[in-house]
Each structure stands twice: as structure tokens, then as C-alpha cells.
Amino acid sequence: MKKILIPTKLNPAVKAMLENTGNYSVVLQEGDLAALAQQHSDSYAMIVRSEKVTPEIIDMIPSLKVIVRAGSGYDNINTKYARKKGIDVMTTPGANSNAVAEEVVALMLADARHVVTADVSCRAGKWEKSKFMGREIAGKTVGIVGLGFIGQLVAKRLGGFDVTLIGFDPVISQEKARTLGVEVMDLPTLFERADYITLHVPENDATRGMVNSSLLSKCKKGATIINCARAGVINEEDLRAAKAAKQLRFLNDVYPKDAEGPKTVTDIADIMLPHLGASTHEANTKAATDAAAELIEFDEKGVSTYIVNRDIPAGLDAAYGELAFTLGKLCRQLTGTENKLKLIETSFYGQLKPFSKWLLVPMVSALSEDFDRSMDYAAAVKYLREMGVDYDDRDTDEHKGFGNSITLDLTASTGPETLMHASVRGTVTESVLMISRINDFHGLYFEPKGHTVVFIYKDRPGILAQISAALAKASVNIDDVRNPHDSKGEKSIAIIKVNQAIAPDLIAKIAKDIEATTHFCIEL
């Protein structure tokens, strides 16, 4: 009989499901985590919500093998230390999605009709109808930033409000977006067009501060921004300035820390909630039953779909995981990040074929900030299916002599009937990542590291010198260059490693001057 410790307020359904199998004894008791951990140090697994699972807590339970976070995020758990101790950490993604989506609608309606302030006024005996003149959501344009689990549900919940839905997501296909009634576009255009902007992206290095002065300057006067995602995706000072200048509305449910005390956004938030996104009876029940089901399937069938701190498989060099991630980032730039993915095709050569399922995961995480790199193949395939993207792992011909290498092909739609295709191949040589081919440019063998500028243009003399001169004028130092022709001798690619990030407007100007068909700067 395995003991399961649940030191949190979770629906009793979790206890019933586990104990009904006859394999578990469950301690469901809210209280001090350290005290409960010491008292139940013989626990096999622990299911938590927002409790901080630190190395100290983990060391108190030497028999611990599994930690399940009843929810999607897991920054409250020290996953690296858990892995060091041989403990699998699992999450229940999607359990809270509907609750958050409905909260977005609730905030929109509450703000549009002054529900909170009008209630306070009316309870005070006042009758201020003219003061609380509201506005209707019908006829407005709603921009959804991030069309994953929650973003898609927001679109569905707003479907009956007679609104125009627009969205941004780097992965979702045009076909999938159309089924949701959403027109996908780039972020600047979304911020220009939307009356309401609701954020549904994770907070990471790529998204932190993404809502900044540049995007906020494009907002309509009086537009409403809703953040039920993570506090860090908004640059608070930039929002403070833009709110005053453009009379923006700001509805907020997330903060740097979930705790009592003053909040820095008090002066700019028109409605503030104490992180209530997942706080519904239904979401609590679903998180509980999902956590129980995952633990049962893990023990009975070995299903590891939602483990978020996976270890590298025995026999695979970790560098190939980094290579797969890098190929994803690079190939996505080649298709144009604003174009919607339709198809992912992979080829794993040599001794990598047995690890193809494992290696797909870092590729997908490179393509979408909404997919966690620590999840597994089944989760990756499910995510692609939900985003309307097809996947094909091709058979390989070992007679080609590519050794241990990976080829990634992406197909994206640039219009209703126009497709963009990009292909990259890479390998690892003496623990160093190498890109050997981009599209029809062979024999590149450049190390994808640091700031890299790429231009593809019609081959003719003097272009590389023109690029170099423009970079030198901007005080950009060149560290390395690759400049081959394609197999037909019609196009050239300039891959230039530089010592610093380069402003997009400079890249665009150079591209215009040399009539480049593809151009970007990426940090690898």
C-alpha cells in the first residue's frame, strides 16, 4: 500500500479515486507542509497546489518518488532538486483552463458595466445611474494573445457576444484559428485593432516584458488590457505611462507573489483580483481528479506524459536535445514567425532514430513558448494536434551517410493559398553544435551560438561587402561569416555572427538595400 500525502485544500474526489484502486492510502490534510512532511516521511507521492516544495521539504520524505502539482504551473516546486533525488514531478495542464477563460469574460463584463463600483455606491444608498453609464461588448474587437488551452476557450466563450476575434500565436495553424472564428496576425497589428486585449502566454525569457511601450503605443484610446496570465509579461512602468496617455483600462489577476500586502499595480489596475483564475469548485475538482488519474496511470501503465522534469534518456548525448531546440528556433525564423505552421517533418539519422520521440519535444518547445520543454512526446503530439499542425517523422536512408544528424522541415501558410517551406540539418561534432545545411545551401558547418544575422538574396558581386559596411557603420563587429551559393548558383546566404544584438530597423534597411528575400537576427 503506497501512502499519498495531500497537504492542501483539494476536492475529496482525489482521495476517493486513489483509495478505490486498493493500492493507496491517502492523507488529505491541509496544514503546515513541513510538519506534515515530517509526520508522513514514509509517503510515496505528494499532491500539492501552491505549496512551496523546497529541497528541505523533499529531504524530509526520503521515500518520495512522485510529486503531482494539481494545476499547470510548477514554479513552486524545485524540479531540478527533485530530479537529482530521482523524483518525477507531474502537472495537470488544462485543469484550470475553463475557470480562467470564464474569469476573463467576467472581468470584461464587470468593467464594462461598472459592476464593482456601482455595487458599492448602491449599498451606500446612492442612485448614480448617470455616473455608471457603461458600454457593450457586442461589436467590439477582442485580441487574444496566446491561443493555447485557455486562449482557445476564451475565443469559444466569447463566441456568443457578437465580437470580432483576432489573435496572436506563433504555432496555431490558419485552419485551426478559422474553426475558432479567430483571425491571426502579428502582435503590433493586434494591439492596433483590439478594443480588448487578453493575455494568455507563459512568463519566460522570451515573453517577460513583451507588453511594453512599443506595443502599448499602438493601442486604441480607451482600450482594455486583461492579464490573467503572469505579472511579468507586462512592463509595469510602460503600462503606467501608456495608461495615462491613452486612458487605457487594466484588469488584473496576477502578481509577482501570491501573498498579502501592498501591490505595485494598485494605482493603475481598474479591477484587481487575488489570483482567482483557478478558484472555482469545478476547477478544483478537475485538478483533483486529473492528479489522481495521472498518478494511477503512471503506476499502472507507465504513462509519463505530464512529467515536467524528465531526465535525458540513457545513451543520448544531451547536446542533441540542444541541437533539436536550436533547429526549431532557426527553422521557424526561416518560415517567418508571423506565418502559421501547417506541417512539421523530421528525419533522425544514425543512432538518433531510437530517440526521435524524445527529440521532438525540444523542437516543439522552440516553436512555441506555450509548450514546456520538460514534457514528453505524447504531450507534444497532442499539443500540435490541438493547434492544427500536422507532424510526420520520416523514414531515413542511412546510405546517405549523414551520421548522427537531424533534419527539420517546416511548412507554413503565408496566405490563403500560399505556402512557405524551410529546411535545416544539423549535427554535433566534438560536443559542438553544427548547422550543416539551410534549405539548398549545403556545407555550412557554422556553430549556432550568440547573435547571428541571416540574409538570403539573389547572388551577385559586392553584396557581402555592402552588408559588412552597413554593420561596421553601426559599430557592429563581425566574428564569423558563411556565404555560400545554392546548388543552382542563383541565390546566396549570408550567415554572419556578430558581437551584439542588432536593431530590427537596421536589419530591415540592409535587407531592403540588398533586396533580400529572407532576413532576421536571432540569438542562438
pLDDT, tens digit, 9 for 90 and up, residues 50-75:
899 999 999 999 999 999 999 877 88
In the predicted model, what is the mean pLDDT of the chain? 92
**pLDDT at residue 5 greater than cutoff 90:** yes
Q: List phi, psi (to 5°) of 148.
A: -85, -150
Q: List phi, psi (to 5°) of 305.
A: -55, -40
Q: Topology of domain 97-272, per CATH?
A: Rossmann fold (3.40.50)
What pLDDT does 372 receive?
Answer: 78
Average pLDDT over residues 150-179: 93
Tell me the pLDDT tens digit for each residue of 201-246: 988 877 899 999 999 999 999 999 999 999 999 999 999 999 999 9
Distance CA 224, CA 234 (A): 14
Amino acid 424 reads: V
Dihedral over Cα of 434, 437, 442, 444: its sign: negative
Considering the chain, tell me which residue range(s) the CATH 3.30.1330.90 domain(s) occupy: 312-445
C-alpha cell at 174: 490558419
**Kind of pairing between the strands at 390-393 and 45-48:** unpaired
Considering the chain, tell me which residue range(s) the CATH 3.30.70.260 domain(s) occupy: 449-524
Distance CA 349, CA 41 (A): 46
With cut-offs at 50, 70 and 90, classify the pLDDT of residue 401: confident
Question: Was domain 312-445 assigned CATH 3.30.1330.90?
Answer: yes
With cut-offs at 50, 70 and 90, classify the pLDDT of residue 270: very high
**Kind of pairing between the strands at 418-429 and 271-272:** unpaired
C-alpha cell at 15: 482521495
CA 87 to chain centre: 25
Q: List phi, psi (to 5°) of 391.
A: -135, 135
Distance CA 434, CA 425 (A): 9
Average pLDDT over residues 370-379: 82
Residue with cell 551584439: 500
Q: Is 70 helix (H, G, I), strand (E, B) or coil?
A: coil
Considering the chain, tell me which residue range(s) the CATH 3.40.50.720 domain(s) occupy: 2-95+282-301, 97-272
Nearest Cα to 212, choosing from 189, 240, 190, 185? 240
What pLDDT does 257 receive?
Answer: 86
Is this model's pTM higher than 0.85 or not? no
Amino acid 3 reads: K
Distance CA 8, CA 57 (A): 15
Tell me the pLDDT tens digit for each residue of 309-318: 887 787 888 8
Q: Let me know: does 467 contact 515? Beta carbons within 8 Å.
A: no
Q: List phi, psi (to 5°) of 149.
A: -50, -55
C-alpha cell at 37: 512532511
Amino acid 473 reads: K
Q: Is 332 helix (H, G, I), strand (E, B) or coil?
A: helix
Q: Tell me the CATH number for domain 2-95+282-301.
A: 3.40.50.720
Neighbours of 301 (CB within 10 A): 8
Superfamily of domain 449-524 in CATH is ACT domain (3.30.70.260)
Kindly give the interhelix angle for 356-367 and 377-386, rounded to the nearest 10 degrees: 40
Distance CA 131, CA 431 (A): 68
What pLDDT does 139 receive?
Answer: 96
With cut-offs at 50, 70 and 90, classify the pLDDT of residue 302: confident
Distance CA 394, CA 396 (A): 6
Q: What is the rounded end-to-end Cα distance, in angstroms, of the chain?
A: 49
